[in-house]
Structure 1
Amino acid sequence: MIRWILTLLLCVLLVFSSDESVLAQSQMADLNESQIQQLNELRQEAFAATEKGNFPTAEGYWTQLIELLPDNPVGWSNRGNSRVSQNKLEDAIADFNKSIKLAPDAADPYLNRGTALEALGRWDEAIADYKRVLELNPNDAMAYNNLGNAKAGQGRWEEAIADYQKAAELAPNFAFARANYALALYQTGQTEEAIRTMRNIIRKYPQFPDVRAALTAALWQQGLQGEAESNWAAVVGLDGRYRNIDWVKSVRRWPPVMVAALEKFLTLK
């Protein structure tokens, strides 16, 4: 579940900003020039390792940064992200708790903790964290998307649809929010609107395997085999994990109706 937790549940890497920047500067004043250079190098290495998907290495760099600046919330939250990406969820939550204790009015640690709680199926706690993010930043599109994910986990599909729609309105280029919106529409029987939305997403993002896989399943259900097969060929070339229905169900966490449609396609095909 490594890369997909970051991508689908949407953790965010913290950067030094606002109050955290002031805190970091005050702490760095106690470091010598060599330590400051080391800190900057470690931070660059940590971000580079994260970009490459090398999360254990990134965790090591964040740990070293925490040792240099133990009272700065940034390192704790970012190490938490690297641990989420390794499915070390309880350890990640402990890091996010520390970050929140150090910066209770910073939104990102709540968002990140919510992703870990969500991965554990602790829906109510995740929802509380996402709502806290929205108290701090009412226009946070990620928080709305993740709030929709948590409500979907509880089977509250209509509420999830509203949250995904709000996320997409706030961030029109937020493709995953639109994809989640389409999947939730399909779950609630709004098939035509779901397919229309999927097709629109693919026109803008033709290399988006998640939506192509979903569209494959939906079209196959409608008997549009040629178009379904065409989309599936693209999916296989982009991301072969959609062949694994257990991965789609448990890691990607598609809605049950869409999972069943894809399973039927894979089985009959």
Structure 2
Amino acid sequence: MVKSWQRWGLIALVCSWCWLGGAGVAVAATTQVSQAAQFSQADKQAIADLKQKAFTASESGQFAQAETYWSQLIEYLPEEAALWSNRGNVRVSQNKLSAALADYDQAIILAPTEPDPYLNRGAALEGLGRWSEAIADYNQVLALSPEDAAAYNNRGNAKAGLGQWDAALTDYQTAVDLNPKFAFARINAALMEYQLGHQGEAIRQLRNLTRRYPNFADARAALTAALWGQGQAGEAESNWVAVVGLDGRYKDLDWVSTIRRWPPAMVAALEKFLHL
């Protein structure tokens, strides 16, 4: 059989899998081939077909259909930890967080030394606001894989959920050091700089991000808010025109605050711009 893991993160809800060169939370798969002598050739073909359908549906956002395929695969291969973890991912994408946690728990029982189920479970725990438990899972990922940039970024998210801004910034910066192309770790670091009162440094980082990734709506929206707060109205409004064309969700402060989870200072800055 082919074992393939998918990694999931809350940020997937923000960018619909547009990862901009980052590693970790987007799909990451490893392949190991083993033979299952108990299966007929027809069974093996059915499993291969289901696996292809499951990945295709997962990556195209057809999460309910993907859940069905992963469930069918689990019926064939109940000892395959990756299948439980991957079904958990698509359940999270449907906001079935409790069911997803049960899947990740089973994956961890079956494969306690694999980092991905801990990373995925941590992201689901974040979705439930269980920050300390999420941090414990990310710590476990880092114990197993000390240079996992996604785990540092996600642990930063959970620490930000607890209001631990300095600690969150340290984790984001570590994620960037490990993977300089990790765009969302970079935006998160810039947001923390702004939260900590380092507006000039935040704007510098945000400008760098928008130059490198001109279609990165999150960075442009944050830059809009930060520039407006500094009285740079023309540049702010220019960036906002691009944001509206890329992703209209940034007009919804509740979404920015509770789903994207910008820190309070940046949410307040965007509110001032939107309410002018």
CA-CA distance at 1:11 after TM superposition:
4.7
1:66-123 deviation per Cα after TM superposition (whole angstroms, max 9, x unaligned): 1110110010000000011111000000000000000000000000000000111111
Matching residue of 2:270? 262
Distance 1:255 1:132 in 2: 26
Matching residue of 2:225? 217
CA-CA distance at 1:12 after TM superposition:
5.4
Match of 1:140 among 148, 155, 174: 148
TM-score, length of structure 1 as denominator length: 0.93
Matching residue of 1:191? 199
Does the CA-based 8 Å contact 2:81-2:111 persist in structure 1?
Answer: yes
Aligned residues: 261
Distance 2:151 2:143 in 1: 10
Change (3 A) 1:119 1:58: same
Match of 1:29 among 34, 37, 46: 37
Change (3 A) 1:81 1:12: farther
Distance 1:200 1:2 in 2: 20
Matches within 5 A, 1:1-269: 3-4=12-13, 11=25, 13=27, 15-17=29-31, 21=32, 25=34, 28-268=36-276
Counterpart AA for 1:47: F
CA-CA distance at 1:133 after TM superposition:
0.3
CA-CA distance at 1:13 after TM superposition:
4.7
Distance 1:207 1:163 in 2: 25
Distance 1:136 1:91 in 2: 25
Distance 2:11 2:28 in 1: 19
Change (3 A) 1:206 1:14: closer
Does the CA-based 8 Å contact 1:11-1:115 persist in structure 2?
Answer: no
SS in structure 2 at match of 1:260:
helix
CA-CA distance at 1:29 after TM superposition:
2.7
Which structure has the highest helix share of the two? 1
- CA-based RMSD of the aligned residues comes to 1.7
CA-CA distance at 1:30 after TM superposition:
2.0
Distance 1:35 1:265 in 2: 59
Does the CA-based 8 Å contact 2:135-2:158 persist in structure 1?
Answer: yes
Change (3 A) 1:2 1:43: farther
Distance 2:27 2:188 in 1: 22
Distance 1:55 1:201 in 2: 31
1:103-148 deviation per Cα after TM superposition (whole angstroms, max 9, x unaligned): 0000000000000001111111100000000000000000000000
CA-CA distance at 1:2 after TM superposition:
9.7
1:43-77 deviation per Cα after TM superposition (whole angstroms, max 9, x unaligned): 11111112211111111111111111011001000
Does the CA-based 8 Å contact 1:111-1:130 persist in structure 2?
Answer: yes
Counterpart AA for 1:175: A
Distance 1:131 1:222 in 2: 38
TM-score, length of structure 2 as denominator length: 0.91
1:25-52 deviation per Cα after TM superposition (whole angstroms, max 9, x unaligned): 25x3321111111111111111111221
Counterpart AA for 1:202: T
Counterpart AA for 2:55: F
Distance 1:266 1:14 in 2: 38
Percent identity between matched residues is 59
Does the CA-based 8 Å contact 1:12-1:112 persist in structure 2?
Answer: no
Counterpart AA for 2:163: G
Does the CA-based 8 Å contact 2:169-2:193 persist in structure 1?
Answer: yes
Q: Tell me, which stretches of 5 or more residues in structure 1 are unaligned?
A: none
Distance 1:53 1:2 in 2: 14
